[in-house]
Structure 1
Amino acid sequence: MTEIHPQSGPGRPGTARPAPNKAVLIGVGTLLIVLTNAVIFILPPLLPIIQAQYGLATVAETTWLYTALTLGGGAGFILLPRLADLYGDRNAAVAASTFLAVGALVPAAGDSYSTLLVGCILMGFGGAAQLLPLGFLRRNLGADGITVGVAVLVVATGVGIVVGMIGGGLIVESLSLRGFFIILTIVCAVTAIACHAVIPHTPPAERSGRIAVLGTVWMIAWVAAILLTLTQGLVWGIAALIPLIAGIVGGIAWVRVERRSTSAVFDVALMKAPLVTASCVCIALFAAVNSAFLLLLSTYAQITPENLRPADAYGLGLSALQTGWLMAPFAAAFLIRGTVLERALFNGRGATVFVIGALISASGLTWLAVAHGQQWHYLAGAAVMGLGIRIGYAAGFTMVQMAVPEEKAGMAAGIAGTSMAVGFAFGTALVSADLGASLVPVVGTGLDVAAKGLYGIGYWLSGLLALLVVVTVLVSRARSGRRVCAAAS
């Protein structure tokens, strides 16, 4: 069973801090998470406008925007939560919001493709702010800190995804790109001010700790190499094996060095705790399922059947805004409070919760693999998928948080967040490869789209990812059982 570290009330022993306003603190945490997820998911509906406005000749150039966001996010997930542990929650939240504001300001001022790429890197780094509420809510809400923090993260993530997709559709219909980035700059700046005003300015959670510069840079490098492969692999072809191999070898070497380090980036003992490593793998798998589902839905929904040859025709012909509304049941499912499942997590039955989330997700994907030709098919599937992924995320982040004391809450969030980033990139790469396997022409445009049958294959592949969660849990429990037997003997 995962070691559960008790909460220490509104403050750690020996520190006196005023009790924060719980509702306001939760509100700021929710704002951070919704904003950062909306920034990520507002991009897909804007890609056609970006390609036309900046005269991008190929789709490959537009995919670099995803890559820039992903690489920036990979670094942010590693650094920002750890900065919160070492330098205080308020400082980390203000810094993250400032990165978001500056990232939006750069393309607003420059209004060019190059400035947009730079802005995406900065916004990707600041986007790791979505993990910070796990730390400052846990440290300021006492015994309920983990439960509330994870609930806020999960609920606000679902809301942020749909807000982003709907917001992107509204921007396509009524705003220019420059106008959008100006508004986003203002919103992020206001968020930074709110973080400074609301999040308590407390002493660093880990007074004697420090950031291991070499280990951190090394980790960012090998994670970035893997993320780069997953986001650009289809474009680069066989050349993508170079960063992939470099990332895998670098990661293995990093783990070996970290095990012997006296100032490890992540606590090696944490990763050895029962179900913690498995929880990180499960978070990555749920994130892969999440991204695969979103990509399959948004792509199919926005293809107009009249633009294809009759033999190839498929799609719903929806606008970006209408596609966003189609995702509403997904967000609604994230709002469901799973009190019984939360109790099961704190009673040491996290493996069971993972399996429940995986089977629900697999059932939703099975449904969509068979029925994805009508809007109501997606409305039903999105509700089921939202529930399954919500359970999986909640279980993963809770299990990792329960394994550490509150002064290392940021480090635990960083481990889980990095796993989520890698999983999200993998799911996107998997579905992109599937949808690129066979193409049909769009009449009169010279463009191609995926063949109709590939969507069913994509949903089946995503269902296998969900079932891998069950395999991961079973393997973890078997290994834990062997360790217990070995210790007893």
Structure 2
Amino acid sequence: MAELHRPGLPHAVPTRPPGRGPLIGMGALLVILTNAVIFVVPPLLPVIEAQYHLATLARTTWVYTSLTLGGGAGFILLPRLADLRGDRHASVVASAFLTMGALVPAVGNSYPALLAGCFVMGFGGAAQLLPLGFLRRNLGQGGITVGVAVLVVATGIGIVAGMIGGGLIVQYLSLRSFFVILTVAFAVTTVASYVIVPHTPPAEPHGRIGVAGTVWMIGWVAAILLTLTQGLVWGAGALIPLVVGTVGGIFWVRVERKSATAVFDVALMKARSVTAACVCIALFAAVNAAYLLLVSDYAQVVPGALRPGDAYGLGLSALQTGWLMVPFAVTFLLGGALADRPVARGHGVPVLLAGAGVSAAGLAWLALAHDQQWHYLVGAAVMGLGCSVGYAAGFAMVQMAVPEEKAGMAAGVAGTFMAVGFAVGTALISADLSVAVVPVPGTGQAVAAADLYGSGYWLAVVLALLVVVPLVVSRARAPRHRLQPN
């Protein structure tokens, strides 16, 4: 794979030798906490609705929208900040945003404060991508492999920690107490980031963040994410931000190609397999989101609350639903390790295809068998393996295509695709589960019709199999777009 090395660019040299164990632990902590925050939200939705007296589900979904919009901005800016200002600086800034985001609803204790806090936490949530840069820059040979492994493994742990943690909070804590605890945890993380992450000279000491291009990109990405997260609520009105975002993105690409301070190096996206790997990351994120939403929704429907002819569901609590996800985390630990060696040898495409195939198999299983708890335990194990293999291959391929000084930029590109993919998966399954509803007698509420879960899993199978498309296109275009080393 040709790399984008450019002569004359300095390599960052740490001012003090970092401890390998503490540095890996710091990276894992950032990834676990940021993913736990994202996945702690589903079990908290009933508490949020009750505490803030929200009349409709549409208002509650703004919690997701705020997190997603904040994340869209953070994925663009924070990894790039690490390249230009140093890894410690970026890690401390990201952790500080997470701390402030948790503090706002802890102090404000209102729904507007919660939305504002979620936006700020979403921005700081891009901290999950920073270990890709600082582990690579400080661990020498093998740093890419370690960084990707930490990202994949800690993500799986964070997902389950968030689901189980949310269930515990629902049962034993108030919402305000949760945000107080979260504030303290993030404050400690901020201090730990300053102490553990080495201060290194910036990888690009003379580089600059193009303010106009960055604001422009945040704007069009946010418009598309807004459509994906609120499209069902707005109906035809969602086409307005979609058109604005799409047109804005097209013109942004044209302008960035000629910009001296481009947000993302255009050569990066032209590198062999990088664009394809990013699209695959988005598809795996969409599959991941679809799976999580389908499982958490079906498992918590109480069969006894429905009419006999409509009854379905497992009647589990939020905490019990979280425990169903444990096999997902276990096999997530294995997938990254299995993908490391073949990807390092240049076999990233077959690994991506294998991850897609395993994910499709797990989803097909759940499409056919999802009415018993053991069905979900089997499905979770298969899905964890498939998703982790796909993520590991995708992120490693993007990192391997760039030199060390561009590690943050590469992480930001991949992270932006991941955020869009997650929003796409959530929107598609939300639409599927809204096609037909079954009333819950005596509550004024309704749940999705039982057969929609099967169709939702088949829809996710299609998303997994679509991984083949960007890989085939990339291979067909490779002779024309392959870069030559300088």
- TM-score, with normalisation over the residues of structure 1? 0.96
Partners of 2:336 and 2:161 in 1: how far apart? 23
1:346 pairs with 2:370: no
Cα distance in 2 for partners of 1:187, 1:303 equals: 33
Matched residues, number = 482
| Residue aligned with 2:447, SS | strand
Identity %: 70
Q: Which residue of 2 aligns with 1:361?
A: 359
Structure 2 alignment gaps of length 5 or more = none
Q: Distance in 2 between matches of 1:2 and 1:350?
A: 14
Is 1:199 aligned to residue 205 of structure 2?
no
2:301 is paired with a residue whose SS is coil
Q: CA deviation at 1:144?
A: 1.2
Q: State how 1:319-330 maps to structure 2 within 5 Å.
A: 319-330=317-328
3-state DSSP class of the match of 1:361?
Answer: helix
Asked if structure 2 preserves the Cα contact closer than 8 Å seen for 1:316 and 1:374, the reply is: yes
Q: Distance in 2 between matches of 1:94 and 1:142?
A: 22
Q: Give the structure 1 partner of residue 413 of structure 2.
A: 415
Distance 2:230 2:124 in 1: 22
Q: Name the amino acid aligned to 1:269.
A: A
1:403: how far off?
Answer: 0.8
> CA separation in 2, counterparts of 1:178 and 1:340?
41
Residue of structure 2 in register with 1:9 after alignment: none
Equivalent residues of 1:2, 1:275 under 8 A apart? no
Alignment of 1:275-294 (within 5 A): 275-294=273-292
The corresponding residue for 2:464 is 466
- Name which of 166, 169, 178 aligns with 2:167: 169
**1:336 paired residue among 322, 334, 337:** 334
**Which residue is equivalent to 2:476?**
478
Q: For residue 382 of structure 1, what is the amino acid of its counterpart?
A: A
Paired residue for 2:89?
91
Rounded to whole Å, the distance in 1 between the matches of 2:364 and 2:143 is: 36
Query: SS at the partner of 1:263?
Result: coil
Residues 244-271 of structure 1 show CA distances to partners (whole Å, capped at 9, x for unaligned) of: 0111110111111111111110000010
Q: Partner of 2:142: helix, strand, or coil?
A: helix
Q: Which amino acid aligns with 2:472?
A: L
Mapped partners of 1:349, 1:59: distance in 2: 45
How far apart in 2 are the matches of 1:382 and 1:340? 18
AA aligned opposite 1:169: G
Q: Any stretches of 5+ residues in structure 1 without a counterpart? A: 7-11
CA distance in 1, matches of 2:60, 2:338: 44
SS class of match (1:97): helix
Counterpart secondary structure, 1:68: helix
1:3 and 2:7 matched: no
CA RMSD of aligned residues (A): 1.7
Q: 1:308 to 1:468 in 2, by over 3 A?
A: same
Q: 2:73 aligns with which of 72, 75, 100?
A: 75
2:115 to 114, 117, 122: 117
1:88-167 aligned at under 5 Å gives the runs: 88-167=86-165
Q: 1:438 to 1:340 in 2, by over 3 A?
A: closer
Separation of aligned partners in 1, 2:394 and 2:259: 26
Q: Structure 1 CA distance, aligned partners of 2:119 and 2:348? A: 35
Partner of 2:16: 18
Kindly indicate whether the alpha-carbon contact (under 8 Å) linking 2:288 and 2:425 is maintained by their aligned counterparts in 1: yes
Q: Partners in 1 of 2:306 and 2:224 — Cα distance?
A: 36
Q: Indicate if the aligned counterparts of 2:335 and 2:388 stay in contact, CA closer than 8 A.
A: no
Would you say the 8 A contact 1:74–1:421 is kept in 2? yes
Deviations 1:425-466 (A, max 9, x none): 000000000000000101111111100000000000000000
Match of 2:185 among 187, 190, 196: 187
Q: Letter of the aligned partner of 2:81 in structure 1?
A: L
Q: Is the 8 A contact 1:366 1:463 kept in 2?
A: yes
Relative to structure 1, is the Cα distance of residues 278 and 2 closer, same or farther in structure 2, using a 3 angstrom cutoff?
farther
